[in-house]
Amino acid sequence: MILKGNRRGGGMQMALHLLNVEDNEHVTVHEMRGFVSDSLSEALTEAYAISRGTRCKKFLYSLSLSPPEIESVPVEIFEKAINDIEEKLGFSNQPRAIVFHEKEGRRHAHCIWSRIDVEEMKAIDPSYDKLQLRDISRELYLEHGWKMPRGLMNSKECDPLNFTQAEWQQAKRTKQDPRAIKQAFQDCWAISDSRTAFANALEERGYYLARGDRRGFVALDWRGEVYAISRWVGVKAKDVKARLGSPDELSFVETIQQQLAEKLTDKLQQFVNEAVSSHDKAEQRPKQKRQALVERHRQERAHLKQFQETRRQQETLTRSSRLPTGLKALWFRVTGKYRVIKNENEANATQCEKRDQTERQNLIDRQLHERRYLQHEFRLMRHQHGIQIKKLNRDMGDYLKLSPVYQEQTLSKQAESSAKQKRKKLRSRNLG
Q: What is the pLDDT of residue 330?
A: 81
Residues recorded for the chain? 432
The per-residue pLDDT for 406 is 47
Determine, yes or no, domain membership for 196: no
Q: How confident is the model at residue 328 (pLDDT cuts 50, 70, 90)?
A: confident
Spatial strand order in the sheet of 96-103: 2-8, 60-66, 106-114, 96-103, 26-33
Residues 242 and 297 occupy one common structural domain: no
Give me the number of domains the chain comprises.
3
With cut-offs at 50, 70 and 90, classify the pLDDT of residue 46.
very high
Q: Which domain holds residue 222?
A: 165-188+206-260
Question: Who wins on pLDDT, 410 or 289?
Answer: 289
Same domain, 178 and 101: no
Which of 157, 175, 197 is the last residue in one of the domains? Answer: 157
How far CA 205 is from CA of 8, 94, 208, 291, 396, in Å, comes to 37, 51, 9, 35, 8
Residue 295 in domain? yes
DSSP for 127-180?
TTHHHHHHHHHHHHHHHHTPPPPHHHH-GGG--TT---HHHHHHHHHTT--HHH
Helix, strand or coil, per DSSP, at residue 108: strand
Q: Are 24 and 102 in contact (CB under 8 A)?
A: yes
List beta partners, residue 209.
219
> Is there a single domain that holds both residue 110 and residue 244?
no
Distance CA 23, CA 254 (A): 33
Highest mean pLDDT among 175-189, 211-225, 262-276: 175-189
For residues 180 and 232, the answer to whether their CB atoms sit within 8 Å is no
Region 317-324 average pLDDT: 86
Residues 177, 132 share a domain: no
Q: Are residues 133 and 228 in the same domain?
A: no
Asked whether the whole model's pTM tops 0.85, one would answer: no
Q: Which is more confident, 129 or 390?
A: 129
Confidence band, pLDDT 50/70/90 cuts, at residue 248: confident
- Using alpha carbons only, give the angle 90, 93, 96 rounded to the nearest 5 degrees: 95
Find out whether 61 and 115 touch, Cβ atoms under 8 Å.
Answer: yes
Measured distance CA(113)–CA(281) in Å, rounded? 43
